Amino acid sequence: MELASMLAGEPFSDRPDCVCPVIGAFLRAYNDSVDDHQRQDLYAYAAEAVDSRACSEVEQARVDRLNEWTGRRRRSSGMGRLLPSWLRAIALYPAAGEVAGSVAARSIRRHTDETHAAVLALLDELLAIGTGVDRRVDVEAASRNRAPGRHLGGDRVAG
């Protein structure tokens, strides 16, 4: 994600303002769990993630897609068969916001070429969600929640 911040002209950060926080969380967690060979494919997605921040409806659609993907992976792997039913229910509960990205990446127990291809396809889907609709964020409202000196998009906030 640091690459995305540099490409966007933002301060060096693993949480650039121009990147959808859900996609950013997924990319950060996945990047931290793969080897250098698989990580090479993520450079293109860091670039694609620039300007992916969108309105709350698009962000929620991305969360929903990640939760669906994670749930399908968990069900197909038989995750939790040995867990008590109450703990299994908690483990299968959908994640919210940025957490959905991290949970989805961590649902991959063993990294293979197949899981890597599935992740890249999922990233393509996440980036496509919101294409063709107004993805703009209310920059003024988002800026009110930022620390001084942080910015959203291309305009710097004096701090």
Q: What is the DSSP string of the chain?
A: -HHHHHHTTPPS-SS-TTS-HHHHHHHHHHHHHS-HHHHTTHHHHHHHHTT----HHHHHHHHHHHHHHHHHHHHHHTTTTTS-HHHHHHHTSPP-HHHHHHHHHHT-SS--HHHHHHHHHHHHHHHHTTTTS-----HHHHHHTSPTT--BTTBPPP-
What pLDDT score does 4 carry? 73
> Mean pLDDT over residues 106-124, rounded?
93
pLDDT bracket for residue 80 (50, 70, 90): low
Mean pLDDT of the chain: 76
Instruction: Check pLDDT > 60 for residue 39.
Output: yes
Confidence of residue 152 (pLDDT cuts 50, 70, 90): very low
Mean pLDDT to the nearest integer, 141-159: 41
Separation between Cα atoms, residue 23 and residue 53, nearest integer Å: 9
Q: What is the pLDDT of residue 16?
A: 79
pLDDT at residue number 57: 93
